[in-house]
Amino acid sequence: MKFVKESIIKASPEDVFAFHERPDAIELLVPPWENATVVQKAEISKIGSRAIIETRLFGLVSVRWVAEHTAYEPPRMFEDVQISGPFKSWRHKHIVEPHETGAILRDEIEFEPPMSFLGRFAAPIAIIPKLEKMFDFRHEVTRRECEPK
């Protein structure tokens, strides 16, 4: 399955990319309603660097999500892949491209939900809306942090 979120940020591509390199970026980008704890931060510039986040699925089941950084092409793209966590598979490309008014921020996620057929059936009502809400938040934070005040 694929999920894409795209926004125009009125800041240079270099500034948008640099925001994601900040040590506090991961904490800023985790929505407060997710009740998630960053156990270990990844350095996106280091291939093989891992982020570890503890969260709860549906507020009930504790899950440790481990994501490894697998590509780094500043100031255009970086990528992380789930090593372990709630999905059967997860590959997340963070793409920043020039735009006439600043930059296009695009998150491309290829994922396979858990629980095989049941997960694929439930994705449109249980996973996709959650991703939409989360990435709306993340893009708004990026906008707030990168655009001139």
pLDDT digits (tens, 9 = 90+) for 3-52: 999 999 999 999 999 999 999 999 999 999 988 999 999 999 999 999 99
- Strand order, beta sheet including 61-73: 2-9, 102-112, 89-99, 77-84, 61-73, 50-57, 37-40
Host domain of residue 95: 2-33+69-146
Asked whether residue 45 is domain-assigned, the answer is: no
Asked whether residue 49 is domain-assigned, the answer is: no
Question: For the chain, how many structural domains are there in total?
Answer: 1
Supply the CATH number for residue 81's domain. Answer: 3.30.530.20
Asked whether residue 99 is domain-assigned, the answer is: yes
**Tens digits of per-residue pLDDT, 113-136?**
887 777 778 888 888 999 999 999
pTM of the model: 0.93
Asked whether residue 47 is domain-assigned, the answer is: no
Q: Quick one: pLDDT at residue 34?
A: 87
